[in-house]
Amino acid sequence: MCGIAGWIDWQADLSGQSAILKDMAKSLVPRGPDSEGIWTSPHAGFAHRRLIVVDPEGGTQPMSRTYNNETYTIVYNGELYNTDDLRNELLERGYRFSTTSDTEVLLVSYIEWGAECLEKLNGIYAFAIWSHKAESVFLARDRLGVKPLFYTQQGSSFIFGSEIKALLAHPAVEPEISKEGLCEIFGLGPARTPGHGIFNNVFELLPASYLLHTRHGMKTKRYWSLESHAHTDNLETTIATIRHLLGDSITRQLVADVPVCTLLSGGLDSSAISALAAQAFRERGMGPLHTFSVDYVDNDVYFKPNEFQPNADAPWAKRVSEHISSIHHTIYFDTPHLLGSLPAALHARDLPGMTDIDGSLYLFCGEIKKKATVALSGECADEVFGGYPWFHREDALSATIFPWARNLNEKMKFFSSALHAEVNLESYVKERYEEALDEVPRLAGEEGLAARIREMFYLNLTRWMPTLLDRKDRMSMAVGLEVRVPFCDHRLVEYMWNVPWAMKTHGEREKGILRQALHDVLPNDVLMRRKSPYPKTHNPSYLATVRDRALAVLNDESSPILPFINVKAVKEFASLDLSSIHMPWFGQLMNVPQFFAYLVQVDMWMRTYKITVK
């Protein structure tokens, strides 16, 4: 994994502009701590920061190759899981390779097939290729958007980067937001509308899309999308197909020239990945698998089950680790760690995020990095198989808003009358919701509950999952750890999209079909465990501390967040006995403590990024 950045301008000579590219690269050092590469030409410049995972000697970037009198230069962030398949096909077509890196295979694939090479790729990626003779730049992003890519057009300059901070490192890009940016931060936040970069004139290249920029203009095109059709496989075949696709995805994603581990919470998804990875380790003679879990000081004392978290993870992680004979590491954090992580998590995401949920993952990945460079995670299984509570609750199914933000009205009362006068947050969120529904690929003749379930899957795959993928990528890459997500294999996502709800909930259980596919992999009690999300702290000291921190922000007359906050309402709320208040305002984990922490992060963001509102 790596960090990439670039600058294209046909009205300027960029040959001597390596200093700006170095500044852009410097902002991405955590993504690529191992080496730097800068390349310039008269009208294009690329910057690359490398995290070495495969072919330490041969994978240096930017990488250039010449074929048929045309030279191509690539910067690439990602991992191809079918590198060998592609290399063999290209060898048969007469190409020769000087490295074993997937970077060279990707570049040659583009040389041979052009944009159509994207249809052949299995992996996670964001890359740019400059064609010297054609004077064009081609950018592309993986199907599910695991790897990030942002861009902006500033005058004659086209600027792109793995993270927004790389764009802001360019002198032409200002940290400005508009009314729409306010709606994203205060209405949708910490989610974000796909394609939006929050900052003015900053855009995200959408998943499964490519962008071609030439002297004559820019065009974007989607190269992959979900297609709805009748599922014709019977139950037995469906179960076998799921098992094959998941197993193949995990096996492919274990390939690396550096230590590989797994994240293990003891839940169904991480347990499945860890068990199948441990089996592959044994078969390959790679020794025992290392597994990692996160927990919090005194969670065993303060944990309280709720609608989203039925039980604690620690005993289950131990149970699975013993079953698969892994070397298990439990990492503990306390309130001071979580508070201290808020600035780092903010900087990693470039936006206010999931506060301590982000921060704890950042800290967790930092500890994992001490022993491994690649980790496999169970992220996205709930989006693919329908595991979230909102798939199964009537109030969520009948709601006319994103199911993870059903308490929007509760949040609205904490914002100022001036903000409400400036923008209609509720209307904005509703428009974005309806916009998402309009995109759903319908199945002819499907109606009622089946049609609504298809909508829910689309909402989760295209609006909720990107938030979690953003989180996973930014927090892990901020410490130079590459996290892979086998459940995001596009083949598995494509297949599961059309499996009927009755099959997905086989045995009248959430993710029942996945449990059945794993019946011989995990102990029955683990197999039947109820879903529990990423763990968070339940220590009351965290709530007390972030409440006080938020109040300090509101009492500071210089706080840039003040014009947007109903200070009186927040202070009245803070004066209540908050220990018994349950206010899940975003997803499964963002509750009362995270509300206060979000206010702190928004204020911190506006200060440190010197945000101006236009």
**Which residues are the active-site residues?**
2
Tell me the C-alpha distance between 15 and 31, whole Å: 25
Tell me the C-alpha distance between 305 and 365, whole Å: 26
* CB of 375 closer than 8 Å to CB of 289: no
Structure tokens at 193: 């509308």
The DSSP secondary-structure symbol of 6 reads E
H or E segment and range at residue 436: helix 425-439
Alpha-carbon torsion angle 537, 415, 554, 173, nearest 10: 90
DSSP string, 388-429: SGGGT-HHHHT-SS-GGGTTHHHHHTTB-HHHHHH--HHHHH
Structure tokens at 261: 């581990």
Cis peptide before 533 (omega within 30 of 0): no
DSSP string, 512-552: HHHHHHTTTTS-HHHHTPPP--S-----HHHHHHHHHHHHH
Nearest to 252 by CA among 36, 82, 394: 82
Amino acid (one-letter) located at 548: D
* CB of 198 closer than 8 Å to CB of 177: yes
DSSP string, 482-506: EEE-GGG-HHHHHHHHTS-HHHHTG
Tell me the C-alpha distance between 135 and 211, whole Å: 14
Structure tokens at 379: 């992220």
